[in-house]
Structure 1
């Protein structure tokens, strides 16, 4: 049986013609209560190809003649349900038998009606208050079975579930009666679309690397890796005995279990035994973010196996970097794990606390790195459709998508922040560079123009003056979580007007280039002129005659120099101020979510590669390798999430699985390993070779599986000479920079040598 969904079916324009109806258990008790299923029997003949198509309001899982259909998790996934709901398709020919068959569809609250974003939106039922299922089984043009009012309903073992809550499961309810009625719900089948991106699946399991028992008799298990996933247990015991599984990302002092950073999310599950030999369970309608599990057994029962199963919409990592410095290699692995753990249906900020939202700012800064590490083309295309549906009439792009605040009253307008809203220009651009995807550019182009007009209109001119209030029209996050150093003498930070104006310039300039690619010449010229206007206004407003930027902080210099906002005559002086701002901070990072991806590329661009190396390899806080030295296995939200003495930062906003700062890996691929996709030959038809040698790394190797095959590149240092070797698959052409002797190089392996520091 093919558990993979999709089967290459039609787009919305030529959608599958449903005959089924959306049905709901008549006794559905509402969000946060016991779950139910809908079920029926049907007859079929042997032979032929039987296809099941299914979707739901909420989450669903299908069983056919007692066997689970497919391997997908959390179906039908998370979209803006008022716009579209995915349906999945399965070949169930080997599950349908001659004669009578039985189909049962379990239903859970899921994102559809679980409480989401607790600090902003507390109620459940954000997209609707009734869960329901729609499904049909066909053989050719014949409908063998479809959901309608004749189906029955009944309780299932899931007695409560929620995205933040976790799950409660009473195995004694397995096989309960299905003698309740169903109701047909009003539903527009035009909202149903074929699965748009890879579904969530299990990844390779992780066994505990250590297990122990605490003073209260509870067992604790360290899986050695922070993940977004599910803990599977096997247990045996008497009926009614309970196993309670809690999750955490870290341990506190004295190895104490600590999940205070989950805030109001319970993030746990309770399993009640039926008492029939070995019983194996993992949550059906929820997931958690964790490295550790704490298990409490109540009653006569014994847990005989505990396994962690990471889950993700990304099923394989397709790019990596290794070096001579183990901590850097671990940083790259941490980035990949944060990608996997947060790319669950949408690119979330974190998988553990009462948030797990598709924050646009995080996704924007990480989009390039994500494209290097995995095939995220369809995953991002799906996400961008949600972003565009959430775009406000005035052009503001949401802070996160799908946007629960848009469908809930009285929570302010969570949209319109610079840096965050720029996902609508940056993410399609990365899809173009990495996959040659002009369709994404074309689909998003109208939304880009609306976003640019919104930003311009905040203050009616080239310099953007955001609103300081939150959340109101024109608010900006600025350079979120930009570290300020010692509170007695804090380091300078970028001003919100400066950050907003830089972000606007970047998006305007980028959209001008996109317009040219799409043949929108009038728009390309109009936006190019606007970019020049912003550039001139920026120089007037924020650059002194000496070349010093107004806020004199690392983010200002990094972004302005990287994106050519500094007039040519001021570049030498600005470069020196930039160098000094880093040196004065003792090579500690002074950038937040928006500035960090630009910091090292900007230093390299202006010739400060040695400075970039010192920043990157600094092992103090704030720094990338500091996290690794503190035992991080994923990327942290905060540079100081754990102190040098092991103290946990105040947990109200402290995630240990937050991929944004992992965006540094794009620099490792493109600057350090020296392979950059080309705008002139997108999709790796053409690449530019220009490595930056960091002696402190000893050696560097990268690999990436692009649409043409595997690209490999790396350098080594021997007796003051650098040897740079690149292997290109058929279909890839590379242009080497002057340090490599220039020239164009085709498929095959190429070797270059040059003097270190030359």
Structure 2
């Protein structure tokens, strides 16, 4: 079979269009189970003539790769993708007319374990055969007639592949000497509910531009290649040598403090590639049914062989970037680039936490904080909506949302019980639909997810039977919460205060109640909207009683408490000024450094801007010590780290076993760069960027700033320069949209397109902006 020639491209189809399948789900009899040699299905068939409209519809339990007359079908990888396979299984449609010929034809379908059958989760809770123990395929080629030209059934033959073993965490072993094995076994029709098949709902996973080697060195008799960029994908190499010689590839994200290959962050994931040569000339290989997260590849040769070329091939569902942000600060520019690379690496069918270790799971908390940034940086609407449908599948009967989706534990509750129900994580079902609505303007996502939102809010209320949520501490207990995950604790001798689980859970109950009420109102569910508004008011009042002292200090007196409470207006007006002072004091106690974790970090800088502390927000953002966004960039990061101190100041790695150098959560700060610094955001009252709010925050060390975003309404542009106290702010409103300029009260002498703008008597100065470019100037400071 040839992978060198891309034979066809997938055809877009609507997920809700029913297909009357003739084909059956067919298992190759050659298959011996999880972790064994991969297998294939084959069928020969005759065609009198080619009509020109022939299409292949195909899916699999496991991963597949299809070939017609020896030519590969499509250029996507890791198909059919990853969903809650027992309820929703994606299928793809390809034009194949150009691959067919009059007379005898043959179709081969290669099958690998993939997410369906690979061993998933970490060793203490390892789950083999997550969604089933038998791989299989369903496929049919359709032409002009009412009956398919060929369809999977029990007449198909099967055989073994040169892929001796594959797995998502394991990697792949490929023995080229076993290419061309015969289809000498039969097949078996499996019981299968065809109503679970849905047309692929988002962009396929595809290869991105290959990354060349930027450096290499010898270590322990092997060659370590540095591709200069941490990414998710695989190596592709060409090798020459003797039959039976072996190429063994290990992967790592970093080098240790002594410059040695360090794969500790992969934990128990073997992430290993082995290729056995057939000999006789140059041989090129890249994996078929797996991917790794890595920057470095360590290649050992066993026997007589030599690598003649090698590259790193990133793969991603996020192949359409839709934004850029640059400033006068090189470390900030690299931070944005790092965030985009973490998005690419973790948007592989599912928004995952990391692409390298024995996890790679669709953690709901990570996705909910990062979704707005994702929607700026990439066309993420269909990707996240597809995933939300799986979130709803994994929602438990009592309304609890799974910690990860697709959830391997749902069908195996005996292995890891209670893996659901955390506030901040489960709130994804309320947060992301609103993000999608505001960014893309389609209210149907709210209608589709509203019942799940209501179930979730009712579940959280039920944890403590009231508005103040008191989550239990034990992992797996009903209502357990991760809280502000990985919040830095400060010096060991004098730890900094952190938000309590009860405060974090109560704040998120308020957030989700408000969002559910808004969604219900938008889609016309007035009774639900009213009930959720009443609930939100009850939670707000309870929060003030429980967590706001008479002096205006919050109970836990930490950065996350203040940031979230300020952003979501949970502090009573009479305590607002005092709370601002306590908030600033909390930042001063940490020497102006970040004191927030996964849920607090996205709110930290917006909260400071909201209380008028723009300069302090800039100092917190730009400080270069740990914990800080720019610290990791200075340490050579090319993606976002899971921990603020994943690499310590002395160059050693964090001592905990849970370490990742490709986690996008803290990259959520890029939302602030677009919305506050560049200063544009969608107006929720006119979603889909039909109205764009322009409200820049001038952070002097960032000048000049330039950003754009390709929104559904068209390209939005905004940028500013600062000279002395004068700001020149240039924006562009796309045709068919309108802009609303909003300037802080202390931005004075405002001129819009050559016309002075009178300052507002109180509050912020505003001005309408029509389509096209606009030049605005103003002065800052007193």
The normalised TM-score by structure 1 is 0.98
Structure 1 position 337, deviation (Å):
0.3
CA contact (8 A) 2:13 2:93 kept: no
1:163-174 alignment runs, 5 A limit = 163-174=168-179
Mapping of residues 76-87 of structure 1, within 5 Å:
76-87=80-91
Give the C-alpha shift of residue 7 in structure 1. Answer: 2.6
One of 720, 745, 753 as aligned partner of 2:769: 745
User: Any unmatched runs of 5+ in structure 1?
Assistant: none
Partner of 2:141: 137
1:220-369 aligned at under 5 Å gives the runs 220-369=224-373
Please name the residue that 1:430 is paired with: 435
1:199-223 superposed Cα distances (whole Å, 9 cap, x missing partner): 1000111101111222x32111111
**Matches of 1:238 and 1:695 in 2, distance apart?**
62
Q: Would you say 1:514 and 2:519 are equivalent positions? A: yes
Q: Deviations over 1:84-113 (max 9, x none)?
A: 111111001111011101111100000001
CA distance in 2, matches of 1:415, 1:3: 41
- The answer to whether the 8 Å contact 1:250/1:257 transfers is yes
Q: Is the 1:406–1:413 contact (alpha carbons within 8 Å) kept by the matching residues of 2?
A: no
Alignment equivalent of 2:657, drawn from 648, 652, 657: 652
Structure 2 CA distance, aligned partners of 1:54 and 1:738? 54
CA distance in 2, matches of 1:330, 1:27: 49
Q: Does 1:38 align with 2:41?
A: yes
- d(CA) in 1 for partners of 2:383, 2:720: 33
Deviation at 1:696, TM superposition (A): 1.4
Preserved contact between residue 559 and residue 595 of structure 2 (Cα < 8 Å) = yes
Which runs of structure 2 are paired with 1:168-567 in the superposition (5 Å)? Answer: 168-214=173-219, 216-410=220-414, 411-567=416-572
Tell me the residue number matched to 1:627.
Answer: 632
Q: Distance in 2 between matches of 1:522 and 1:20?
A: 46
Q: What is the CA deviation profile of residues 651-686 of structure 1, one whole-angstrom value per residue up to 9, with x for unaligned ones?
A: 510000000000000000001111011111100000
Shift of 1:737: 1.2
How many residues end up aligned between the 2 structures? 755
CA distance in 1, matches of 2:233, 2:365: 24
1:5, 1:195 within 8 Å by CA — same for their partners in 2? no
1:552-593 CA distance string (max 9 Å, x none): 000000000110000011000000110111112111100000
Please say if 1:684 is aligned against 2:689: yes
Instruction: Tell me, yes or no, if structure 1 residue 57 matches structure 2 residue 61.
Output: yes
Per-residue deviation, 1:756: 2.1
- The alpha-carbon deviation at position 8 of structure 1 amounts to 2.5
In the TM superposition, residue 268 of structure 1 has moved relative to its aligned partner by: 1.2
**Contact 2:9/2:73 (8 A) holds in 1:** no
Structure 1 consecutive aligned stretches of length 4 or more whose deviation exceeds 6 Å: none
How big is the shift at 1:295?
0.2
CA distance in 1, matches of 2:664, 2:187: 43
Counterpart pick for 1:26 among 14, 24, 29: 29
* Cα root mean square deviation, aligned: 1.1
Q: Indicate yes or no: 2:574 matched with 1:569.
A: yes
The 10-residue stretch of structure 1 (464-473 or 517-526) with the greater mean CA deviation from structure 2: 517-526
Which whole-Å CA distance do the structure 2 matches of 1:432 and 1:361 have between them? 19
Cα 1:412–1:469 shift into 2, 3 Å: same
Map of 2:20 onto structure 1:
17
Contact in 1 for aligned 2:7/2:99 (Cα 8 Å) = no
In structure 2, C-alpha distance between the alignment counterparts of 1:737 and 1:62, rounded to whole Å:
54
Determine helix, strand or coil for the equivalent of 2:225: strand
CA offsets 1:115-140 (integer angstroms, 9 cap, x no match): 11124631311111000011111112
- What is the alpha-carbon distance in structure 2 between the residues aligned to residue 734 and residue 147 of structure 1? 55
Q: Which residue of 2 aligns with 1:755?
A: 779
| Worse-matched range after superposition: 519-528 or 557-566 | 519-528
Contact 2:423 2:481 in 1 (8 A): yes
CA distance in structure 2 between the aligned counterparts of 1:579 and 1:427, rounded to whole angstroms: 30
Shift of 1:413: 1.3
Distance 2:124 2:409 in 1: 7
> Is 1:108–1:285's contact at 8 Å kept on the other side of the alignment?
yes
Give yes or no for contact 1:684–1:732 (8 Å, CA) kept in 2.
yes
CA distance in structure 2 between the partners assigned to 1:286 and 1:252 by the alignment: 26
Does residue 105 of the first structure (1) align with residue 109 of the second (2)?
Answer: yes
TM superposition score normalised by structure 2: 0.95
Where does the alignment leave 5 or more consecutive residues of structure 2 unmatched?
1-5, 745-749, 751-756, 758-765
| In 2, Cα distance between equivalents of 1:128 and 1:225 | 36
Asked whether the equivalents of residues 158 and 167 of structure 1 are also in contact (C-alpha less than 8 Å), the reply is yes
Question: How many angstroms does 1:715 deviate by?
Answer: 0.8
CA distance in structure 1 between the aligned counterparts of 2:7 and 2:306, rounded to whole angstroms: 35
Q: Secondary structure at the match of 2:467?
A: coil
Aligned equivalents of 1:111, 1:716: Cα separation in 2: 49
- In 2, Cα distance between the equivalents of 1:342 and 1:520? 35
| Other structure's SS at 2:77 match | coil
Q: Secondary structure at the match of 1:544?
A: coil
For 1:297 and 1:710, the matched residues in 2 are separated by: 50
Shift of 1:5: 2.8
1:584 to 581, 589, 596: 589
What secondary structure, in the 3-state scheme, does the structure 1 residue paired with 2:409 have? helix
1:286-345 per-residue CA deviation (whole Å, 9 max, x = no partner) reads 000000000000011110011111100111211121000000000000000000000000
Whether the 8 Å contact between 2:256 and 2:653 is mirrored in structure 1 is yes
2:70 is aligned with 1:71: no
Task: String of CA shifts for 1:246-273, please: whole Å, max 9, x gaps.
Answer: 1100001321111111111001110001
Q: Secondary structure of the residue that 2:10 maps to in structure 1?
A: coil
CA positional deviation for 1:17: 0.8
Q: Distance in 2 between matches of 1:403 and 1:47?
A: 43
Classify the secondary structure of the residue corresponding to 1:704.
strand
8 Å Cα contact 1:3-1:72 kept in structure 2: no
Taking a change above 3 Å as real, the CA distance of residues 2 and 377 of structure 1, as seen in their structure-2 partners, is farther
Query: Could you give the per-residue CA deviations for residues 356-407 of structure 1, whole angstroms, max 9, x where no partner exists?
Result: 0000000000010000111111101110000000000000011010001111
Matches of 1:276 and 1:756, distance apart in 2: 72
Match of 2:154 in 1: 149
What is the alpha-carbon distance in structure 1 between the residues aligned to residue 441 and residue 635 of structure 2?
39
Give SS of 2:315's match: strand
Counterpart Cα distance in 2 of 1:396 and 1:518: 23
Deviation of the 1:644 alpha carbon: 1.3
Give 1:195 shift: 0.7
Rounded Cα–Cα distance in structure 1 between residues aligned with 2:37 and 2:489: 48
Q: Secondary structure at the match of 1:457?
A: helix
- Distance (whole Å) between structure 1 residues aligned to residue 417 and residue 684 of structure 2: 39
Once the two structures are TM-superposed, the CA of residue 276 in structure 1 deviates from its matched residue by 2.8
Matched residue SS, 1:406: coil
Quote the Cα distance in structure 2 between the aligned partners of 1:261 and 1:696.
35
Q: Distance in 1 between matches of 2:307 and 2:457?
A: 57
